[in-house]
Each structure stands twice: as structure tokens, then as C-alpha cells.
Amino acid sequence: MSEKEITEKYHIITRFIDNNQLGDAFALSFELLQKTDAPELRREFEKQKEIYRYLLEYSLKGVEDPERETVYNSVKKALYHIAERLKTAYVKKFLPDNVMVSRRNKLSVEVAAGKTSIAAELKNLAENDVAEESQERKEIVNKLFLLIWLSDTIEEADFLMLKKYALLGNLYFYERSIIVSALAVSMLRFFDKRKLDALFEYVGAKQKEVRNRALVGIVLAFYYYEKRIFLYDDLKEALKKLKQNKKTAECVEHIIYQIVRTKETETLTKRLHEEVIPEMQKMQPKIQDKLRLDDILSEGANDEGNPDWEELFDDAPELFDKMADFSRLQMEGSDVFMSAFENFKNFVFFRSSSNWFVPFYSENSDIVNQVFGNMTDFDFDSFAKGLEKTAYMCNSDKYSFCLNIGMMPAEQRNLMTELFKHESMQSEEIVKEDKLLNKDSEDKRIITRYIQDLYRFYKLHPWKDFFFDIFETDLDIHNTKLFKLLLNDEQVLENVAEMYFKKKFYADASETFETLSFSGKKEAKRYEKIGFCYQKMKHWKKALDNYAKAEVIKGSSLWLSKKTAFCYKKLNNFEKAKEFYLLAEKEDENNMYIQANIGHCFLELGDYENALKRYFKVEYYAPDNKSVMRPLAWCSFIVGKFDKAEAYYKKLMKDKPTVYDCINYGHLLYVKGEIMDAFKQYERVLKISSMESLEASIRDDAAFFIKHGHSEKDIDLLIDYIKTSTL
């Protein structure tokens, strides 16, 4: 059984419990138990089954029991825990090569032997005189991270020590940040109430980096284990206390927005690889020439920029627009650097799992000593401090950037740092302005960077195939009880819906818009956007329903008429489509898109004369539009204007004709009596298509042959003539 199959079985059981289908949960758990060697787990299963059987029996007999709900919830809690332990047992038995299992087993042996524990390593770190930035201290931090992350449950002594140092100043902020991150990813790996209790403790930390990371961990835990967590009254109360702090609610709001943005990361990465990077590579010689790269490092280069930079994109305006778009997305908090740094996570630095979550700080000895320690020609201190202030790059990518810079030849390294210096100066100015306008902007930047760090951990960590990826789930936090309890703000929901809409996540956008209630023009816009979402998802009838509601509120409009007509056309209701295109025509008479579509509707309805009038109008206003020649040629053929039709077909034959161009021209020549010329067109078709396709096309168009004086027998003979000539 694969990791994926084991995880899916686990999720089936938890969904049963979520939906109060405990009988099904018991049945599947029993089935899985038969294939495990876990006597203690079997005993727990039998105990809970017996408790539940008694509860059911008393309920059916009508026995009043004031504790029934409490007992029922305790059975649910126990079943959740059994499901998780089953998952662990299956991974251990069926996936012996799982590196996480191996590492966890090794740590478990050490813990059982009293050689280590979370409490012991934390005490060693906080109370013993272990020098800052020493290798020994870093090894303790990494071991502590692994102990927390790979522990299914945290012992009471461990929890008390974690609680003790949540607020005390004995740890450096970056160490406490790593501990919080370990608790967050451990909680998502295996549910344990003490882990969540510890995260609530760290929300009270003074350091913003620590506090916001704890908050992100709590939000993700309440989302992922929503129905399970709300079985614990004290956790609900802890969440309610967070609501009392207005700043906390604002941070949760930003967490929701930022998690929504993670959904577009793969799309942005694909766009960069397919649209931007190839264009940049084509421009490389021009960049070398226009930027005079050799001159950048000359004396005085630090004091002024290169005036030719402004002209760099003159020959590639589309690339400039794309770069500007990515820059705007970056400023908004989108993860535009994932594609740039995804291949730079193989450094030794990232073999320590804790380093995936260490905040970037310029004094980090892993970078200062190991990478730049022997470089006398490089001002690392200024570079690192500038990088530390850079707002729009996550911690993980900052380390990747440093490690990559450290491997470059001196000339290339200095060039890169000069370019970076200009960028960081601009970034610093933006941050300063932002702080003046919004004093909570630092919290938002920390949250943004941390969620991007988490994204890289789940997508790029060497062990990623061995643990569940939270970013593969719906991440619809705005639909959870946590949202209702902490925010319950329709404006936030509207913002989320607009984000989904803007980023083209139409299913999510429509679902979220439909939860909102507006009035007046805003309500009409909501229906328009819901309709548009359904249109993009090809749910034509639902789109029409919403467009109709918008029209009732605000009346008809050009945009609404065109969209409504389009949907009717997709449903093959050409009469209604024509009706709305004619309505749109009244507001935009010279719109060629509208004229062409009116023509299409007439054509589909068999009104070829009126179709021709519309297509002639398109041709008149857009004589270079070659696409309009096809319907003009076809309609002219049908209404008997053979000379006009042939003139269009001859033009089409000169410019990469399609299979149907050749077929239709053959039809025209045949009804004109030019049999051999028609046959040449059909022969041309057979070189790129099959006889079956050609025969089907001829028979589909039989009515037009008959209209122009030919019989069905003639059509049969034509087809046989083509077939026998190919023998």
C-alpha cells in the first residue's frame, strides 16, 4: 500500500467521523486493524466500540442521559486518534524505506533510553552556556525541531517546558521562530491538543516574527482539523480570547488573503517559465549591449544608474508589460520568486530541516563563515543587511540567494550585488512609506514571508513525498467556523471573492460570491460576476440565470446582452442568442464582434440572406479579416451566388486553406458542373484527411446539393467515383 493510499484511507475515516457516520468509521477502522500488529490499538478500538454500542442501545430504548452528548464527543475524539495511529502503523509496516519513519524511530529509541527529549534539548538551549552561532547550538536547534515535528504527541513535561520558554528571553528570536514552526508542521502531521495549546502560548510572545508564525499555525490547524478541534471547549475559548485583540483579527484576515494567493503560485511559476524567461534569454545580447554591463563596475557606478536602462524594453513592450505585471503581483504579496529559487534548495544548508524555517538575519554563521568567510573583495555585511531589509523575498529564498551568490565568480557576484543594491534601496523606500501609512504593515510582511516559507517546505523539502501537503487542500479558511468566530466580516468575504475572481479561480469565486448579500447596483454586479464565473466554467444555464437576475435589478447593458447572447449560442438556442445580439447592436452598431455573431445566428437558423448582409458589413469595416471570407463564401454558395462564392474560395486557397475550405470549394465546383475541378479539391482533402471524413461531410451537406438541382443518386455516384479513383 502506497503513502497516498494510506493517507486516503485515513481521510475517508476522518470524513466519516466529521459527518457523524461513526458506524462507517468503526467498520473501516476494523478492516484496517486486521492488517496491523498493534494490540494496544485493538484494545482501544474495542473499548470505544463497546462504549458506543451502549450509547446506541440506551438511545434506542429512550433512556434519558444528560451525559450522552459528552460521551458521544469523547468517542469521536477517540476515533480520530485511532485513525491517526492506524495511519502511523500502516506507514511503519508497509513503507519501511520512508525516511521520516526511520528518523522518527531513531529519535524514539533515544527518547525511550532517556538520552534526549524536547524538554531536555530546550533546557540545554535556554539554560546552558552554549555560545550563540556555534555549531553545537545549531545542532541542538535542529534536533529540537525534529523532535517536535516528528512527535505524534507531546508529553506533559515537554509541553510545560515549551510553555515556560514561550515568553522568557532565554532564547534568540530566530530559535523561538523555529520552535513555533516545528509545532505548526507537527500539528498538521499528527493531531495533538498540547501542540495547539503551545501555539496559543506563543501567540503571546513579544517578537512579531514568533507571534505571527504561531497565529498562522493556529489558523491552519483550525482549518485542517475544523470539526475535530471544536470538540474541545477550551480550544474554542482560547480562540475567542484571540478575538478580543483587534490586531489579531486583522492578522488573521491577512493570513486568509495570503493563503488564497498560494493557489496561484503554480500558475505564476508556469507563466515565468513559458512567457518571461524565454523572452529574457532572447534579449540577453541586447541587455549586454544596452546596459553596457562592463561599465557598471567602473568608478562612480555606485552613485548613479545607467540611463540606458529606461530603453531596455523598447524592442519588447510585451515583455515589459509582463515584468510590470509580475512586479505588481509581488507588491501585492504574490509568490513570484518560487520559480527563481525552487532549484536552489539543494545546498547543504537545507539538509537541516530547521533551516527551512529560520528567519533571515545577517549574523547567521552558516552564511557569514561558511559562504563568505574567506572573501576579502566582498562587502558581505552591507549586502546581508540590505537583504535582511528586503520585504518581498521570503526567508528561505534569501538564504538561497546568499548561497548562490557565494558560488559565483567575483565579477558576476559583484554585478549581481550591484543590481540587487538598486532593487533593495527601492524596496526599503517602499517599506518606509508603507510603515508611515500602515503601522501594521510589518506584521503583514512577516505573515507573507512565513506562508511562502511553508509553501517551499511542503513543495520542495527532500522528504516532501513522505508527508501530507496542506497546500494540496482547498484552503477555504473563509468557510470555516474559525472565520465565523474570529472575523465574520462580509467585507473580508467580498475581498476573498474578488481575489478569487481576479486570479481566475472561478469555482471558488462563484461559491464565495453566493454567500454574500448586497443591495442595489452592488447586488447586480455580484450576479454579473457569478454569471461570468459560471460562463467560464461552461455552466451556461447557471450563467444565464445569474445574468437574468442582474438584468432585473439594473436593466440591460451592452456587456450583459453580449454575455447572455454568448451563453444562448453555446446552448444552441440561436433564436434567443440572436435576440440578445440584436439588443447589443442597438448600443454598439459598428461592433464587428456583434455583427459577426448576428450573422452566425442567422446562418444557424437557415436565414442565409440575412447572414450574408451581416458578414458583408463585417467585411466592409474589416477588409483584412480573412476569417469572414469562409461564412461569406459558404452563404453565397447556398443562396446561389456562385461567382461571389468562388471569388472568396480562390482567395482562401492561396493562404493555407483548411480541410473544410477544400471540401466546400469542391461542393461549389460540383454544383457548377465543373466535376473534374471539384474532384481535384476532394483529392486534395484525401491527402490530409480520411475518405470516411470526406464522405460524412458530403452527406451532411446533401441538402445543398439537392437544392441546386442534384439528386441523392448523384451524391452516391460522386462518393463512389472518389472511392474508386483511389483504388
- Averaged confidence pLDDT in the chain: 88
Mean pLDDT is lowest, of 236-250, 403-417, 613-627, 638-652, for 403-417
Rounded Cα distance between 24 and 696, Å, is: 54
pLDDT score recorded for residue 307: 47
pLDDT score recorded for residue 323: 57
What mean pLDDT is predicted for residues 559-579? Answer: 97
pLDDT score recorded for residue 167: 83
Provide, for the chain, the percentages of residues in helix, strand and coil under a 3-state DSSP scheme, each rounded to the nearest 5.
75, 0, 25
Better-predicted residue by pLDDT, 81 or 245: 81
pLDDT score recorded for residue 292: 43
Confidence of residue 246 (pLDDT cuts 50, 70, 90): confident
178 touches 141 (CB < 8 A): yes
Show Cβ contacts of residue 631 under 8 Å, excluding neighbours closer than 6 positions: 599, 600, 603, 611, 615
pLDDT score recorded for residue 178: 97
Better-predicted residue by pLDDT, 300 or 17: 17
CA angle 469, 474, 480 (to 5 degrees): 115
| Domain locations in the chain as residue ranges | 3-96, 100-244, 265-294+328-472, 625-727
pLDDT above 90: residue 52: yes
pLDDT above 50: residue 66: yes
pLDDT above 80: residue 361: yes
pLDDT score recorded for residue 295: 45
What mean pLDDT is predicted for residues 603-631? Answer: 91
pLDDT score recorded for residue 31: 94
pLDDT above 90: residue 238: yes
CA of 222: how far to CAs of 40, 85, 112, 193, 468, in Å? 29, 20, 31, 11, 16
pLDDT above 90: residue 581: yes
345 touches 396 (CB < 8 A): yes
pLDDT score recorded for residue 525: 93
Rounded Cα distance between 457 and 683, Å, is: 60
What mean pLDDT is predicted for residues 112-134? Answer: 90
pLDDT score recorded for residue 385: 83
**pLDDT tens figures, 293-308:** 444 334 443 444 444 4
What mean pLDDT is predicted for residues 716-723? Answer: 92
pLDDT above 70: residue 266: yes
What mean pLDDT is predicted for residues 33-55? Answer: 94
Q: What does the block give as the cell for 672?
A: 457548377
Max intra-chain CA distance, the chain = 104
Q: Report the predicted TM-score, pTM, of the whole model to 2 decimal places.
A: 0.85
pLDDT score recorded for residue 440: 66
DSSP E strand stretches across 416-514: none
What mean pLDDT is predicted for residues 585-613? Answer: 94
Query: How many other CB atoms are found less than 10 A from the CB of residue 362?
Result: 18
Looking at the chain, how many residues does it have? 727
What mean pLDDT is predicted for residues 643-652? Answer: 94
Confidence of residue 476 (pLDDT cuts 50, 70, 90): very high
What mean pLDDT is predicted for residues 114-136? Answer: 89
Confidence of residue 276 (pLDDT cuts 50, 70, 90): low
**pLDDT tens figures, 176-216:** 999 999 999 999 999 999 999 999 999 999 999 999 999 99
Q: What does the block give as the cell for 99?
A: 525516511
Q: Does domain 625-727 have CATH number 1.25.40.10?
A: yes
625 touches 648 (CB < 8 A): no
pLDDT score recorded for residue 677: 93
Show Cβ contacts of residue 260 under 8 Å, excluding neighbours closer than 6 positions: 475, 496, 499, 500, 503
Confidence of residue 424 (pLDDT cuts 50, 70, 90): low
Nearest to 461 by CA among 345, 326, 578, 598: 345
pLDDT above 70: residue 421: no
568 touches 584 (CB < 8 A): no
pLDDT > 70: what percent of the chain? Answer: 88
pLDDT above 70: residue 278: no
